[in-house]
Chain A
Amino acid sequence: MKRVAHPGLVSVEDLYVHFPLHSAFMKRSRDVVRAVDGVSLGIEPGETLGLVGESGCGKTTLGWSVLKLVRPTAGRVLFDGTDLSQLTGRPLRRFRRHMQLIFQDPYGSLNPRMTVYNIVGEAMRVHGIVKSRKAQRERVASLLETVGLRSDFIYRYPHELSGGQRQRIGIARALALEPRFLVADEPLSALDVSIQAQIVNLMKDLQEKLKISMLFITHDLKMVKFLSHTIAVMYLGRIVEKAPADELFLHPLHPYTRALMEAIPVPDPLSKWQPTPLKGEIPSPIHPPTGCNFRTRCPHVFELCERADPHLLEAKAGHLVACHLVKEPEEPTS
């Protein structure tokens, strides 16, 4: 297997996250849910990596384990060269200020009993960035302006805000510690289309202005193309394809990536949309298929797929794909 070295700000090396299943009272069965099953990724400073996949493919678990909110079963996560798995307690907490999370649900992720002043400012106090109430007030107010809210929102409670405004508060909170790395876990899926566009624009502006690295987790291919430099496609706990955003959309190589793209209805009544829907559904991550785990749904499946597990190989410069059909560097077919 040809390993690809991942320097950069964040580097995930051969990461596995398996959740044990409890079969009966106090008994542990030997089955595990293979949420993340051998993933290697690198994120450069200032780069946005889009992570795309359907529900249950392990993309959220991967995002959380990069932040060490979930303990990996095996593998390492390096942040700026430091192995996070070796850190605990105070040293780990010091690293936390450099890595923040934007949550999916803007309703559930804000404490309804705290004002915006405390929601955004709490972490600053904890990390000793602000020494006085006045300093905190000033910094929270300036953060609110950064995310496009008036500074008089500072004493409001979450219930007084709309979904889009709440998501802006979530972003302000994530930015409060001036992190170098952000994980955005489906930050758009709870919002309406017109509000989604506002938040996407905001995230893109901030990312360009502040040069933050970002792991953008989503199931929405349209938004991921707009926001990301590089895109990784995940299926059943594994990365099946990874390429620069434009390259991936121009020359998708993995059958799953192609199916995902085809499955999106084209918002144009004149262009005939004729997807060839994938057969069946995502298999259980408890007993994934042998060999290539996509073979049960793949339209191009052949005998080798059952026997051998395809590795993630570089099909051409910067374009990685895990498929037996793509063996050596070759010209794109489409």
Chain B
Amino acid sequence: MTQEASESVLRIEGLRVVIKRGRRKNAVVDGVDLSIGRGEVLGLVGESGCGKTMTALSILRLVPDPPMEISSGRILFGGRDLLKLSASGIRKVRGREISMIFQEPMSALNPVHTCGRQVMEVFQVHKGLSRHHARTRTIELFEMVGIPAASTRINAYPHELSGGMLQRVMVAMAIVCRPPLIIADEPTTALDVTIQAQVLELLVKLRSDFGTSLLFITHDLGIVAQLANRISIMYAGQIVEEGPVTEIFSTPVHPYTLGLLDSVPRLDEIAEGQSRLRAIGGVAPEPGALTTGCRFADRCEFVFERCRSEVPELFTYGEGRRTRCFLVDEAATMRISQEAP
């Protein structure tokens, strides 16, 4: 069940990303540990501003610097620390060993080049193919990701294609080198539901065809439930809960996870006359907000004194699960004290 460290494709240890504001440095990602196993889909879930995109961008060292900066941590991939690579070293990793699908295909593609040329470029740079070969391969790839009339569409400029088609172009670009890891940052958020279903189907197919590992960043719990093997839930720059997808959905432990699951009404479960959704009150703290204790304490319905004074660590809970909540620790303590005579 649990992925052994040796099997993992990528391991992030103690990643910290700060935003510099004058002399102050506020952490937007604050000590994140993650690992992705071979062929695994890890869903990284969180709301806007929780640091999930910055975590993903750090992997390819694409964090906008300034104002952001990766201040500490290690990102281990293929026996190397990506944070220690030279500029040309990391450039060789980008697109070849790890590729990324961005949230907004309309702004991620260059508007003054044709879609085909932008995909061909990857073939030419990373695979050293000639223009002619790159073109043939690009057409094949376009057909594979389901772009109709591929041989004419490679001459289309991004503004001539719809959002769904552009996202397919992005997917095609990401799989040129068959990388062991693809990072998808909210790839379907900008798309309509019927188009989203098409793109998700494509990603599922790619994963089963190539065995690519996928880091899937989203705020949509429905997508995670259907696509991911494991989930990490982020809140205010930290991972607050992590575990296999079936277990997180069946027995969520962290109150934030509970709240997230409750805030989304299910089509088949909205009881007739149900009057309210269970919402989480309040808002998430800003990066750099002075908090003593648990960052979720102000919004938590189970808050008690210890949450205000101590900072919870990620407690291990059951098989392959970790939770940043004192309730788990208290429960464990109680169990031990009960077992002791």
A-to-B contact residues, CB < 8 Å: 54-55, 162, 164-165, 192-198, 200-201, 204-205, 208, 219, 221-223, 225-226, 246, 249, 259-270, 273, 275, 277-278, 281-282
Pairwise interchain contact B283-A265, C-beta atoms closer than 8 A: no
Taking a contact as CB atoms under 8 Å apart, the answer to whether A222 and B280 are in contact is: no
Binds A, one of B56-64, B129-137, B195-203: B195-203
Report Cα–Cα, A59/B101, bound state, in Å: 30
Interface-centre pick from A204, A246, A266 (highest chain B CB count, 10 A): A266
Contact across chains for A55 and B197 when beta carbons are under 8 A apart: no
B139 at the interface (CB under 8 A from A): no
**23 CB < 8 A contacts A-B:** A54-B194, A164-B283, A193-B264, A195-B47, A197-B264, A197-B280, A201-B279, A204-B275, A222-B265, A222-B267, A225-B270, A263-B196, A264-B267, A265-B220, A265-B225, A266-B226, A267-B222, A268-B225, A268-B249, A268-B266, A270-B246, A277-B198, A281-B162
Residues of A within 8 A of B270 (CB): 222, 225-226
**Residues in chain A near residue B274, CB distance under 8 A:** 226
Chain A residue at minimum C-beta to C-beta distance from B249: A269
Residues of B within 8 A of A195 (CB): 47, 283
With the chains together, A226 CA to B193 CA distance in Å?
18
Name the one of A194, A246, A264, A278 contacting B272, with C-beta atoms under 8 angstroms.
A246
Q: Given that A198-B279, A277-B198 are known contacts, is A193 also in contact with B193, CB under 8 Å in the complex?
A: no
Task: Specify which chain A residues have a CB less than 8 angstroms from the CB of B245 in the assembled complex.
Answer: 269
Q: Could you tell me which B residues sit within 8 Å of A by CB distance?
A: 47-48, 162, 164-165, 192-198, 200-201, 219-227, 245-246, 249-250, 259-268, 270, 272, 274-281, 283
- Contact flag A194-B260 (CB < 8 Å), given A204-B276, A226-B265: yes
Cα distance A225–B269 when bound, in Å? 11
B279 contacts A197, C-beta separation under 8 Å: yes
Q: Are B283 and A162 interface neighbours, CB within 8 A?
A: yes
Is the CB–CB distance between B283 and A196 below 8 Å?
Answer: no
Q: A193-B264, A219-B192 are in contact. Are A265 and B47 (CB under 8 A)?
A: no
Across the interface, do A263 and B194 meet the contact criterion of CB distance under 8 Å?
yes
Beta-carbon contact of A269 and B226 below 8 Å: yes
| A-B pair number, CB within 8 angstroms | 125
List the A residue with the shortest CB-CB distance to B148: A280
CB distance from B290 to the nearest CB of A (A): 18
Bound-state CA distance A275–B277 (Å) is: 26
Q: Taking the nearest CB of chain B, how far is it from the CB of A201, in angstroms?
A: 5
Nearest Cβ in chain A — how far from B217, in angstroms?
A: 14
Is A265 touching B223 in the complex (CB atoms < 8 A)? yes
Q: Which residues of the other chain, B, contact A269 by a CB distance below 8 angstroms?
A: 225-226, 245-246, 249
Query: When A222-B267, A264-B267 are in contact, do A281 and B195 touch as well, CB less than 8 Å?
Result: yes
Check A281/B223 contact, CB under 8 A, given A197-B279, A226-B265.
Answer: no
- Using Cβ atoms and an 8 Å threshold, which residues of chain B touch A219? 192-193
Chain A residues in 8 Å Cβ range of B279: 194, 197-198, 200-201
Which residues on the B side are within 8 Å of A268 (C-beta)? Answer: 225, 249, 266
**CB distance A192 to B194 under 8 Å?**
no
Q: With the chains together, A197 CA to B200 CA distance in Å?
A: 25
- Shortest beta-carbon distance, A259 to chain B, in Å? 6
In the assembled complex, the CB of B327 is this many whole angstroms from the nearest CB of chain A, namely 19
On chain A, the residues within 8 Å of B259 by CB distance are 194
Taken together as a complex, chains A and B put the C-alpha atoms of A264 and B197 apart, in Å, by 8
Q: Count chain A CB atoms within 10 A of each CB in B275, B279, B280 and give the residue with the most.
A: B279
